[in-house]
């Protein structure tokens, strides 16, 4: 399958590449309907986030075929990763010369960049989502469709548990 370009900043390869799949000899190749779901996720959620942040959004887990999903720790048989409707990511850093922000302050930490992305997803009206889960080192975001998106906001509590939080409470998370 060719490396399909979904948006200016996202391609199919980013969502199918998996060291775990390679290690176990799994072909993580999506069906056409999954590719379309990934395209919608990129167009409706990830690309608008990338543009609003002005920073790279680095995909760590995208599409997972059933065989790959089954060997992932804490996997779910209902995972939206199976349908190409979810991605896990962290926010990269593009520092100007000298490694300092425009104000001269030190670069934001990885956690500060995650929190900024988390809040942008919630507040920016150009970004649509179904589920948004903040983990210590990454964000999980999903997109189903404009009609089906539930706009759930959660924080990972560890051991596969999540706390659902209100939009207002999400702004008190650090």
Helix/strand/coil for 72: coil
Give the chain's radius of gyration (CA, Å): 16
DSSP string of 54-116, one letter each residue: TS-EEEEE----HHHHHHSTT--TT-GGGGT-EEEEEE---PPTTSB-TTSPBPPPHHHHHHH
How many residues in the chain? 174
For the residues 76-92, what does the mean pLDDT come to? 95
Does residue 6 have a pLDDT over 70?
yes
Q: What residue spans define the domains of the chain?
A: 5-170
Looking at every residue in the chain, the average pLDDT score rounds to: 91
For 120-173, how does the pLDDT look when each residue is reduced to its tens digit (9 = 90+)? 999 999 999 999 999 999 999 999 999 999 999 999 998 889 999 999 999 999
For the residues 1-22, what does the mean pLDDT come to? 93
User: What pLDDT shows up at residue 18?
Assistant: 93
pLDDT band at 98 (very low <50, low <70, confident <90, very high): very low
For the residues 78-91, what does the mean pLDDT come to? 96
Topology at the third CATH level for domain 5-170: Muramoyl-pentapeptide Carboxypeptidase; domain 2 (3.30.1380)
């Amino acid at each position: 399958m060719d490396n399909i370009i979904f948006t200016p900043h996202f391609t199919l390869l980013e969502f199918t590449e998996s060291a775990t799949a390679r290690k176990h000899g799994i072909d993580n190749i999506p069906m056409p309907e999954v590719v379309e779901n990934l395209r919608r996720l990129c167009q409706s959620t990830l690309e608008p986030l990338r543009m609003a942040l002005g920073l790279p959004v680095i995909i760590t887990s995208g599409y997972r075929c059933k065989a790959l999903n089954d060997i992932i720790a804490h996997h779910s048989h209902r995972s939206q990763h199976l349908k190409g409707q979810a991605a896990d990511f962290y926010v990269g850093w593009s520092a100007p010369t000298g490694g300092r922000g425009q104000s001269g302050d030190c670069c934001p930490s990885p956690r500060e960049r995650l929190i900024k992305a988390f809040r942008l997803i919630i507040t920016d009206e150009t970004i649509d989502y179904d589920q948004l889960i903040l983990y210590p080192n990454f964000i999980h975001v999903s997109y189903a469709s404009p009609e089906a998106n539930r706009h759930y906001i959660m924080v990972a509590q560890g051991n596969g548990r999540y706390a659902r939080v209100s939009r207002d409470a999400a702004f008190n998370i650090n």
